[in-house]
Amino acid sequence: MKEISCLNIRKITSTLLVLIAFFIPLSTTAVTIFSITLFIFWLIERRFKNKFNQIFTNKVSIMVIIYIGLFFVGLIWSCNPAEGLNVIKSQWKIMLMPVFLSTVQPEKRQLYIISFLSGMTIAVLMTYLAWFDLLHFSDVTPTHLTKKTSHVVFNPMLAFSIYLIFHYFFWGKIKDHWRWALLTLGVAMAFDMFITEGRAGQVVFFVLLGLFFIQFFRKKILKGILFSCLIVPLSIVFAFYFSPTFENRTRMAYDEIKHFKNNPNTSLGMRIHFVKNSWEVFLQNPLIGVGTGCFKEKYTIVNTKNSPTLEPTDNPHNQYILVLSRFGIMGFTIFLGIFIVQMRQAFIVQDDLSRIRFAFPLFFLTIMFAESYLAVYETSFLFSVFSSILYNSDTAFTKRYSF
């Protein structure tokens, strides 16, 4: 009876993980509710010996736990431990990664991914409805297709979704009618990339495009590199001349960088100042950083000296600079270790997900130049969910998913 009960709970938690993946691009409220519910059932199920064995024998999970541990250790030399506790609370999305890892059922890995792609498909459909002026929100117009600043997370997730779609189109064992449906969806998503405004997503789209060609010509690596060097620049030029949105955002970025000294109150102008000031904070404490919760206080001092007309920030909009400022070179090494281990797993575990295992950390390593994406709600969950799906310790699973 106990075994049946545990089996039922495993089905529930696995279903909840499917729902979390689906709602990542659609609703933060739903993701929160389903995540809390999953964690409650995870505790009720018990089996802690098996779960902890799975968590602490998984190299990616270990690196994530060590990274989270930095936030607690960083309280020791923090100038504001109270604020440090608030920072630790905000990391709960990343803390769930080991829980998700011990929830994943290997035979359902593809289902979790398809669930995320289904949610992204609905999100893309909503932008098309807004583009045709059929969907109306106060902050959504035919020229601004996402709510407020949600293009910051929408476009990066869209770029990753496009990669996944074409991965399944070329390498998935799928029936012909599904294959052409995937191609149609992939083209629609690629077009959507350049009618929406997220520059970080557009940049990582081109990075993943280059990776795709290298992976496609895997046995002829030089040919893949040559194709990438040819197709990616041509794609950028094509997008510039045929997408007014991409052209405008590119020209805007150029102007903001060119004139940031005279006009720092722009999106990129402020980011440049954030990075410069945060780098100075890091240089004051290069080995171990300023600790957990002390960044804003130290940043404010530097900001008052260097750029007093600008408001101080608690987020430099660059994950690397944020980690360096908080934890110094020591913490930065641990942070990069997460993605190095993920890439290493891509080479060690050879199955249908190997290419995605490499693309996923490359995706994050790219977008984190533009934003502290492990502190952003949606992308934090994207990291936790896909890290648990892709790097689960059950490496024996090599089953192909049939549509």
Q: What is the SS3 assignment for 120?
A: helix
For the beta carbon of residue 74, count every other beta carbon within 10 angstroms: 24
Residue 401 — pLDDT band, cuts 50, 70, 90? very low
Mind listing the pLDDT tens digit for each residue in 18-43?
999 999 999 999 999 999 999 999 99
For helices 295-306 and 267-284, give the axis angle rounded to 10 degrees: 110
Residues 42-70 have a mean pLDDT of 95
The DSSP element (H or E) to which 36 belongs, if any, is helix 28-45
Query: The pTM is what?
Result: 0.93
pLDDT in tens, 224-249: 899 999 999 999 999 999 999 999 99
Question: pLDDT band for position 188 (50/70/90)?
Answer: very high
Candidates 140, 185, 107; CA nearest to 351 is 107
Q: In the predicted model, what is the mean pLDDT of residues 91-111?
A: 95
What per-residue confidence (pLDDT) applies to 396? Answer: 39
Q: How far apart are the first and last CA of the chain?
A: 34
pLDDT over 60 (residue 400): no
What is the secondary structure of 335-388 as a DSSP string? Answer: HHHHHHHHHHHHHHS-STTHHHHHHHHHHHHHHTTTS-TTSSHHHHHHHHHHHH
pLDDT at 256: 84
Lowest mean pLDDT among 65-79, 303-317, 352-366: 303-317
pLDDT in tens, 195-205: 998 999 999 99
Mean pLDDT (whole number) for 178-198 = 94
**Per-residue pLDDT tens over the stretch 263-296:** 888 888 889 999 999 999 999 999 999 999 999 9
pLDDT given at position 143 = 79
For the cut 70, the answer to whether the pLDDT of residue 151 exceeds it is yes
Give residue limits of the domains in the chain: 2-258+313-390
3-state secondary structure of 293: coil
Q: Which amino acid is at 228?
A: S
